[in-house]
Amino acid sequence: MSVQVLHVTGARPNFPKAAPVVRALREHGVDQRLVHTGQHYDEQMCDVFFRQLGLPEPDVNLGVGSGSHAVQTGTIMAGLESLLSQEQPRLVVVYGDVNSTLAAALVAAKLRIPFAHVEAGLRSFNRAMPEEINRLVTDRLAEILFATSPDAVAHLASEGVAADRIHFVGNPMIDTLMVNLDRLDAVRIRAALRLPEQYLVATLHRPSNVDDAGDAAELAKAVHASADLLPVVMPVHPRGRASLAASGMFDHPRVRVVDPMGYVEFLSLVRGAAAVITDSGGVQEETTVLGIPCLTLRPDTERPVTITHGTNQLVDRAGLAVSVRAALDRKQRAPRTPPLWDGRAGERIADVIADFL
């Protein structure tokens, strides 16, 4: 008998989305396997997440490592083609918008194995973002599309996806946040890092911010102006570290650089922050639920619900410090939680998959 469900994960953002789905399918008694492509592969970008989120050890680790988009995607495809041909699962489940997502979608489609996309329908409408290409192709090929927000449902419908393939289920990343809420200890992480009571957190790694030397220099100037207001703690992604160092980002005495953190440690840090500066997608969602002001250094977002219902706002580099000051001065209103961000998305996804099987 073939495996019923095969999950493909590969990068840090995938793991909090997969954990509630794996857990809920286990309650249904579904035979499932977990594949880790190894797109993110070091301790703090990968292994610690499996331990902290209660994910089982991967049944398969392809160990692809880093590389250009083409090299990484192609290597993952080669490994997955052999695996899926052998396993012949009844359904593949992919998560988010990373290269592992795209690779699994292409392989499953070519082998005519149905697959489901968790976090379908998000659109920035900016094709300069590699993730936007991954989203578009994955959604075009998916058999089952799980949407996290009403705007995502609308995007899929406008692209001609049949209504019976779209399922508005909420956000499984928020399931993981809610399950771990009592473990998020802002006081403890502040003491461990010897931080003052008020500080900013910055997570910055997008190509549009760090790849070009001129952009990185502007970014450093903007973050330094923010650090003049409050100390900035910056967990630095391996991607872009050299560019940020060359820009002088780490030269300001109140910019504190730390290595990537585990899930619990990072969100404990965020929970205690006065505001967060980011270009990450998931952080926009997590700050919305935690009620922390979020300043997203991008011209667009594929998660507009975090602006209409949450604490997020889009800012540019030139206006960052002014926006930080405004966020610090403004009395933060309790955010309106987006629809179905109630901690039960994983259960809804599992119900749909169980019916499909």
Beta bridge partners of 167: 146
Task: Indicate if the pLDDT at residue 11 is higher than 90.
Answer: no
Residue 335 confidence (pLDDT): 65
Q: DSSP code of 88?
A: -
Residue 47 confidence (pLDDT): 72
3-state secondary structure of 22: helix
Task: Indicate if the pLDDT at residue 218 is higher than 60.
Answer: yes
Q: pLDDT tens for residues 100-152?
A: 999 999 999 999 999 999 999 999 999 999 999 999 999 999 999 999 999 99
- Classify domain 182-329 at the CATH class level: alpha beta
pLDDT, mean of residues 52-71? 85
Question: pLDDT-based confidence at 64, cuts 50/70/90?
Answer: confident
* Contact call for residues 108 and 83 (beta carbons, < 8 A): no
Residue 242 confidence (pLDDT): 86
Question: pLDDT-based confidence at 43, cuts 50/70/90?
Answer: very low
* Contact call for residues 157 and 121 (beta carbons, < 8 A): no
Domain 5-171+341-356 in CATH 3.40.50.2300? The answer is no
Task: State how far the Cα of 229 lies from the Cα of 223, in Å rounded to an integer.
Answer: 10
Question: pLDDT-based confidence at 334, cuts 50/70/90?
Answer: low
Task: Give the max Cα distance, the chain.
Answer: 62
Question: pLDDT-based confidence at 239, cuts 50/70/90?
Answer: low
Closest by CA position to 142, among listed 182, 179, 96: 96
Question: pLDDT-based confidence at 333, cuts 50/70/90?
Answer: low
Average pLDDT over the chain, rounded to an integer: 93
Determine the angle formed by the axes of helices 281-290 and 172-179, rounding to 10 degrees. 50
* E strand map for 217-315: 232-235, 255-258, 275-278, 294-297, 312-315
3-state secondary structure of 187: helix
Q: pLDDT tens for residues 283-304?
A: 999 999 999 999 999 999 999 9
Closest by CA position to 27, among listed 319, 349, 268: 349
Task: State how far the Cα of 48 lies from the Cα of 43, in Å rounded to an integer.
Answer: 6
Task: State how far the Cα of 117 lies from the Cα of 121, in Å rounded to an integer.
Answer: 9
Task: State how far the Cα of 331 lies from the Cα of 329, in Å rounded to an integer.
Answer: 7
Residue 49 confidence (pLDDT): 76
Q: Which amino acid is at 329?
A: D
Who's near 1: CB < 8 A, 6+ residues apart?
31
Looking up tokens 């049949």 gives: 162
Q: Where in the chain is the domain with CATH 3.40.50.2000?
A: 5-171+341-356, 182-329
205 is catalytic: yes
> Is the pLDDT higher at 287 or at 69?
287
pLDDT, mean of residues 87-99? 97
* Contact call for residues 35 and 9 (beta carbons, < 8 A): yes
> Is the pLDDT higher at 243 or at 357?
357
* E strand map for the chain: 5-9, 32-36, 60-61, 91-95, 115-120, 144-147, 166-168, 200-203, 232-235, 255-258, 275-278, 294-297, 312-315
Task: State how far the Cα of 108 lies from the Cα of 267, in Å rounded to an integer.
Answer: 34
What does the angle CA 189 – CA 190 – CA 191 come to, to the nearest 5 degrees? 90
pLDDT, mean of residues 173-198? 97
pLDDT, mean of residues 2-20? 92
Given 7, 36, 155, 205, which residue is catalytic? 205
Structure tokens belonging to residue 309:
């219902």
Phi and psi of 160, rounded to 5°? 90, 15
Task: State how far the Cα of 120 lies from the Cα of 166, in Å rounded to an integer.
Answer: 9
